[in-house]
Structure 1
Amino acid sequence: MSIKQTDLSKKLRQITLEAQGLIQEQAFGSGKAAVLSALEQLGYIQIDTLSVVTRAHHHTLWTRIPDYQPQWLDQLVTERHIFEYWFHAASYLPMQDFRFALPKMLSIKNGESRYYQADTQVMRNVYDKIRIDGPQKSRAFESLSKNNGSWWNWKPTKIALEQLFMQGDLMISARSGMEKVYDIRERVLPNTVNTTPPTALEYAEYLVRKYLRAYGFTTMKQMTHLQTGSVLRKNIETILNQMLEDNIIQKLVTPEMQIIYVLTDLFEKTDATHHPKLSLLSPFDNSIIHRERVKTCFDFDFRLECYTPQHKRKYGYFCLPILFGDVFIGRVDCKAHRKSGQFELIHLHVENRQIDMALWLTPFLNTLHRFVHFNQCQSIHVTQISPSELSDTIREFIEMRQMI
């Protein structure tokens, strides 16, 4: 099936934003139950240690759940509804998906994927200490390395700890802030969880359904991102063909001859009228983590520049994309100065001038104020706005709002 580019782009934007929970105000409901619902829909939430503003995993959930509280994520870990592992990066995943992490765990344990080269005896010592003494933070092993001699040398111990985690012998049972608490798998994993490794076909089906559920549409390139092997691709094609036959998905061809697969119920759904929602997105938000998809679908070129040398940055160290309705109107480089209680807009970049600023400025300020408070700040300081001709208007509006 082919469709005009403008119509298709608009439709795909609506489909993916609805699947991502970025159209309705409470797409996943409220409270702690909404956190689990969002995680099961999105498939994963990336964990990041950067704290320029509130960390990515909390930010991503706050964007979708208006009453979100960070402790809910920790509680879901301790209640064994979610677990930590590696997706394309360190992530929280629904416990129901545990068995689909087993192929990676087993490949590391069998030496097929050599992420680490831990000493076997050190691994036994680390595992036995946790098995006998109970859950441990990594700092416990750092202390041992200082007091107990060569068996507990910190660097080999840290490598062993990470390998035991990556191969599934240890799991994260809790966190203290960002510090992990490790325990043996048998004490963390609920006994109701299926631990049968998926077949190659089951794993392919998991990937297909995961991407379709999270984004509404997908491509072969996206589903095989960081995945290798012709067998996987063949199995994905088998699953797609069956879903096409069952009318679960539609196969579309863009004017650029790109093949995409879209959920039939979302594609045929009549677009509901929603008041445009404004979102300040984390750079690690699920909706924008695939940069090529964002460029193709939204015509928005986004790169996180915190890893780019300062003199090469175009927009700033830690920019948050600003989504209004289904259009990215710009981005803002910002920083939460928590000790002083000030939230700094280092540089607000307004890039889309086709949308009347009167439409998005009030929603932007409303969302910004909520985010400022979520970051435990009380006031806003504006350093720079581009283009400069908008600076006075936006500054005055922000200052006026702060006086209310």
Structure 2
Amino acid sequence: MVVELTKAQARRIAVRAQALEADRPADVVDTVRRLTFVKVDPVSAIAPSADVVLWSRLGERYDPAELTRALEVERTLFELDLMVRPMDDLRLFRPSMRDWPRHDRTRGWIEANSSFRSDLLLRLTAHGPLPATELPDTSVVAWSSTGWTNDKNVQTMLECLMMRGDVAVAGRRDGARLWDLAERVYPEALEQDHLDQADAYRLRNERRLASLGILREGRGSSTPNEPIDTRGIGEPARVDGLPGAWRVDGAALARVDEPLRPRTALLSPLDRLVFDRRRLAELFDVEYVLEMYKPRDQRRWGYWAMPVLHGDRLVGKVDATADRAEGVLRVDAIHEDEPFTPEVVEAVFAELDSLAGWLGLEIRGRGVGLA
């Protein structure tokens, strides 16, 4: 039976799934479990994107040191492929690690550099954890690429070994990953919990659908390197006014008519609520493009414009930058996607106050008004 949903119902499902209601998650680990992963990205116009994502859920009580502790001390979270994930989910990746890589070119490069691979593992055994810069490049065949990874042999081999489950990210130093043997990073109990490939694939997709609530039916992408295959999972659905088939998380349907406990949130441009631009346009009737790669004179909203969520609507964007040298959160513009009510204006500035307080900065530019 196909579930019939209005756009408002679909939006409520999406917002609730992303932990953006007034009832906030308990802590960092709880947040990451609900989101399934948080992307690590070096861009820090406000703060690192992962920190902004967690702040937008937890508020000013979020302390980045809590994330570091969960990753490096408690091992309740782990980093894989530039995503922070709950350690409970490691078992969902182990089957694919045993079968990685699938591409002949990558497999051939690893095999041609078997001595290089052994050198890295021996060095980590004796001296790990270490950053890539402290590991020797003894490759026989260089990694060739038209992109920025060309001839980045140590980094490429480490990432291959990570995806195979041989090494793992043990922590970070000044933003750089520290590498160690996987057996020293991953809890032994989880290492013994094996699923077959088909079950792990299905469970990963179910987890990702639950974290987003509702998605188009088929195989798409919720973030780079993380495709979601919604075929055969969740419940089939149609959304009023939108063509095509959708899949919705079954647990979310139990609350589909429950009123949302709304709040206002400033989101990272890499936040998963807004990352899928087609879904964003269809469910929220909003256009959004990350403009950091555009020339300044071609930007409409700003270098790192933060989407503004109010209840189940995306109502605008805030163009802001953290200037730590000056000790200020510089607000250059607040753009309205739909006319702001006095309530929305007050809520947006309250979130800016919260963001500035969390960053330990003073707001400058509040007098710019609304664009």
TM-score range with shorter-chain normalisation? 0.7 to 0.9
Q: 1:253 to 1:379 in 2, by over 3 A?
A: closer
Indicate conservation of the 8 Å contact 1:217/1:261, yes or no.
Answer: yes
Indicate conservation of the 8 Å contact 1:250/1:263, yes or no.
Answer: no
Indicate conservation of the 8 Å contact 2:7/2:240, yes or no.
Answer: no
1:158 equivalenced with 2:155 (yes/no): yes
Distance 1:214 1:370 in 2: 25
1:199 to partner: Cα distance: 3.2
1:81 equivalenced with 2:72 (yes/no): no
Q: Which residue does 1:183 correspond to in 2?
A: 180
Distance 2:311 2:139 in 1: 59
Indicate conservation of the 8 Å contact 1:11/1:267, yes or no.
Answer: no
Q: 1:273 to 1:186 in 2, by over 3 A?
A: closer
Q: Which residue does 1:272 correspond to in 2?
A: 259
Gaps of 5+ in 1: 244-248, 388-404
Q: 1:165 to 1:23 in 2, by over 3 A?
A: same
Distance 1:44 1:92 in 2: 5
What is the RMSD computed on CA atoms of the aligned residues?
3.1
Match of 1:287 among 273, 295, 309: 273
Distance 1:8 1:210 in 2: 24
1:105 equivalenced with 2:97 (yes/no): yes
1:376 partner letter:
G
Higher mean C-alpha displacement, 338-347 vs 303-312: 303-312
1:370 equivalenced with 2:362 (yes/no): no
Q: Which residue does 1:211 correspond to in 2?
A: 208
Q: Which residue does 2:10 correspond to in 1?
A: 12
1:11 partner letter:
Q
Q: Which has the higher helix share?
A: 1
Distance 1:336 1:43 in 2: 28
Distance 1:64 1:289 in 2: 16
Q: Kindly provide the CA deviation profile for residues 80-106 of structure 1, in whole angstroms up to 9, marking residues without a partner as x.
A: 1111112xxx20011111132235534
Gaps of 5+ in 2: 143-150
Q: Per the alignment, in what secondary structure is the counterpart of residue 180 of structure 2?
A: strand
Q: Kindly provide the CA deviation profile for residues 89-141 of structure 1, in whole angstroms up to 9, marking residues without a partner as x.
A: x2001111113223553454565472994633222211111111231122323
Match of 1:317 among 290, 303, 306: 303
Q: Kindly provide the CA deviation profile for residues 197-242 of structure 1, in whole angstroms up to 9, marking residues without a partner as x.
A: 643431342133213321222232355778999xx96xx64x43xx
Indicate conservation of the 8 Å contact 1:331/1:349, yes or no.
Answer: yes
2:115 partner letter:
Q
Distance 1:13 1:273 in 2: 10
Q: Which residue does 2:56 correspond to in 1?
A: 63
1:114 equivalenced with 2:106 (yes/no): yes
1:158 to partner: Cα distance: 3.2
Pick the structure with greater CA Rg.
1
Distance 1:304 1:115 in 2: 34
Indicate conservation of the 8 Å contact 1:343/1:380, yes or no.
Answer: yes
1:105 partner letter:
M
**Structure ranking higher on relative contact order (CA contacts 8 Å, 6+ apart):** 2
What is the 5 A alignment of 1:342-357? Answer: 342-353=328-339, 355-356=340-341
Distance 1:280 1:224 in 2: 23
Q: 1:204 to 1:123 in 2, by over 3 A?
A: closer
Distance 1:228 1:46 in 2: 10
Distance 1:346 1:221 in 2: 40
**Normalised TM-score (structure 2):** 0.85
Q: Which residue does 2:243 correspond to in 1?
A: 257
**Normalised TM-score (structure 1):** 0.78
Q: 1:256 to 1:366 in 2, by over 3 A?
A: closer
1:343 to partner: Cα distance: 1.1
Q: Per the alignment, in what secondary structure is the counterpart of residue 65 of structure 1?
A: helix
Q: Kindly provide the CA deviation profile for residues 165-207 of structure 1, in whole angstroms up to 9, marking residues without a partner as x.
A: 2332110111224121111011111111045664343134213
Distance 1:342 1:43 in 2: 33
1:10 to partner: Cα distance: 0.5
Q: Which residue does 2:365 correspond to in 1?
A: 381
Distance 2:198 2:157 in 1: 32
Q: Which residue does 2:41 correspond to in 1?
A: 48
Q: Which residue does 1:132 correspond to in 2?
A: 126
2:357 partner letter:
H
1:295 to partner: Cα distance: 1.0
Q: Per the alignment, in what secondary structure is the counterpart of residue 336 of structure 1?
A: strand
Report runs of 4+ in structure 1 exceeding 6 Å deviation. Answer: 224-229
Q: Kindly provide the CA deviation profile for residues 241-267 of structure 1, in whole angstroms up to 9, marking residues without a partner as x.
A: xx6xxxxx3533544332122234433
Distance 1:258 1:179 in 2: 43
Q: Percent identity?
A: 21
1:49 partner letter:
P
Q: Per the alignment, in what secondary structure is the counterpart of residue 352 of structure 1?
A: coil
1:47 to partner: Cα distance: 0.5
Q: Per the alignment, in what secondary structure is the counterpart of residue 347 of structure 2?
A: helix
Distance 1:138 1:16 in 2: 39
Q: Which residue does 1:22 correspond to in 2?
A: 20
